[in-house]
């Protein structure tokens, strides 16, 4: 058997050296390591051997099998490197000082709105934070006073991963981590992408952007929340915007509100974007629930705070007159090219 393996090894090395491309290498792999290859044939012959002889011969075959696999892997890396070198060498030279003959592209409208809002809130003393798109159940729900089996979870049809984690359904999932990072007092915003298994229409999509904001300090009240929201909207739209504040239920705030903006697409007359209501939900908000503050490590006897979840996607629609939310995620360059150049 040793002589047979040595002969087979020599044939393999000779053929490996002559492989000039990935197709030839794959053919060699099938010949030696495939289901009907040389190694598989040797393993089948082990049935005719006695116990100790079968064990020793099996070890020799496995050594050769590993050598062949390593050789093929190294050859694949070599071929890939050589192909890249040929590509670089064959590339045409170009003059970097020449002007571009094509458009430099544009920022996405949501990016434009997000950057503008970040600057507005920075001037008001807010820190800008980033956070993961994949979170665990505690961050997304339990730390926000939404325990397992709570009916509030039905409001957010969630994408669960095989490992038990979730694609975050709202930027509120970062609240607990931000509180523990900074403590109190605290002013922070954290924009991000969110995911829900929504029924897609002109104003709903399964992927959208929000900007979460929290302010925690002594003697914070609803008046502070209203002031910051009005200031932000007047800066974004550069004019007075009609808004309404109505009661809303969110387990992580108490009391909770829905801040709606008069639809700027139809002027409040009713259209498909606002579902013929004349109003568009823009910013769920409220005073942070003491239980949420406590889980974030904040002393609820000394501090209070407010939180809001601003819909960046819907704000971009209002700002730029985009009637259908699906245009924002469609990757349609004709649509996106209308915005400010990069």
Kindly report the backbone phi and psi dihedral angles of residue 279, in degrees, each rounded to the nearest multiple of 5, phi listed first.
-130, 150
Alpha-carbon separation of residue 216 from 7, 186, 300 (angstroms): 77, 5, 10
Please report the pLDDT score of residue 198 as a whole number.
Answer: 80
Please report the pLDDT score of residue 341 as a whole number.
Answer: 46
Please report the pLDDT score of residue 299 as a whole number.
Answer: 94
Spatial neighbors of 297 by CB under 8 A, at least 6 apart, are 179, 180, 183
329: closest CA among 211, 210, 208? 208
Please report the pLDDT score of residue 101 as a whole number.
Answer: 60
Question: Is the pTM for the entire model greater than 0.85?
Answer: no
Please report the pLDDT score of residue 126 as a whole number.
Answer: 92
Determine the Cα–Cα distance for residues 52 and 66; give it in Å rounded to an integer: 21
Q: pLDDT per position in the chain (342 positions), as tens?
A: 677 888 888 998 999 999 988 889 989 889 988 888 888 888 888 778 787 888 888 888 888 889 989 999 899 999 888 888 877 776 656 666 767 666 666 788 899 899 989 998 898 889 999 899 999 999 999 999 988 887 777 777 788 899 989 999 999 999 999 999 999 899 999 999 999 888 888 878 889 999 999 999 999 998 888 888 878 777 877 777 778 888 888 889 999 998 888 887 888 888 887 888 888 877 888 999 999 999 999 999 999 999 998 888 888 888 888 888 888 888 777 777 777 544
Per the CB < 8 A criterion, the answer to whether 164 and 137 are in contact is yes
Fold of 109-336: BirA Bifunctional Protein; domain 2 (3.30.930)
Kindly report the backbone phi and psi dihedral angles of residue 140, in degrees, each rounded to the nearest multiple of 5, phi listed first.
-80, -30
Determine the Cα–Cα distance for residues 264 and 296; give it in Å rounded to an integer: 37
């Amino acid at each position: 058997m040793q002589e047979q393996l040595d002969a087979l090894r020599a044939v393999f090395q000779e053929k490996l050296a002559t492989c000039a491309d990935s197709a030839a290498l794959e053919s060699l792999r099938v010949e030696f390591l495939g289901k009907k290859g040389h190694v598989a044939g040797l393993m089948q012959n082990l049935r005719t051997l006695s116990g100790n002889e079968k064990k020793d011969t099996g070890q020799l075959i496995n050594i050769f099998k590993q050598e062949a696999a390593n050789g093929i892997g190294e050859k694949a890396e070599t071929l890939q490197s050589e192909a890249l070198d040929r590509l670089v060498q064959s590339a045409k030279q170009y003059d970097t000082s020449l002007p571009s003959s094509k458009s430099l592209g544009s920022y996405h409208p949501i990016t434009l709105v997000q950057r503008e809002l970040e600057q507005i809130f920075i001037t008001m003393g807010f820190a800008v934070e980033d956070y993961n798109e994949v979170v665990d159940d505690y961050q997304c729900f339990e730390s926000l006073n939404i325990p397992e089996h709570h009916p509030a979870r039905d409001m957010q049809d969630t994408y669960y991963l095989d490992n038990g984690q979730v694609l975050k359904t709202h930027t509120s999932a970062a609240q607990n981590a931000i509180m523990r990072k900074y403590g109190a007092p605290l002013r922070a915003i954290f924009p991000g992408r969110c995911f829900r298994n929504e029924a897609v229409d002109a104003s709903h999509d399964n992927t959208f952007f929000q900007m979460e904001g929290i302010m925690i300090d002594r003697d914070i009240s609803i008046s502070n929340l209203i002031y910051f929201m009005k200031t932000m909207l007047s800066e974004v739209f550069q004019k007075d915007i009609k808004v309404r504040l109505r009661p809303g239920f969110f387990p992580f705030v108490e009391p909770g509100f829905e801040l709606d903006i008069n639809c700027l697409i139809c002027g409040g007359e009713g259209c498909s974007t606002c579902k013929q209501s004349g109003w568009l939900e823009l910013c769920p908000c409220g005073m942070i629930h003491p239980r949420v503050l406590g889980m974030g490590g904040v002393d609820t006897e000394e501090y209070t705070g407010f939180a809001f979840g601003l819909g960046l996607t819907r704000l971009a629609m209002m700002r730029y007159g985009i009637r259908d939310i699906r245009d924002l995620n469609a990757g349609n360059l004709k649509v996106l090219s209308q915005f400010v150049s990069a």
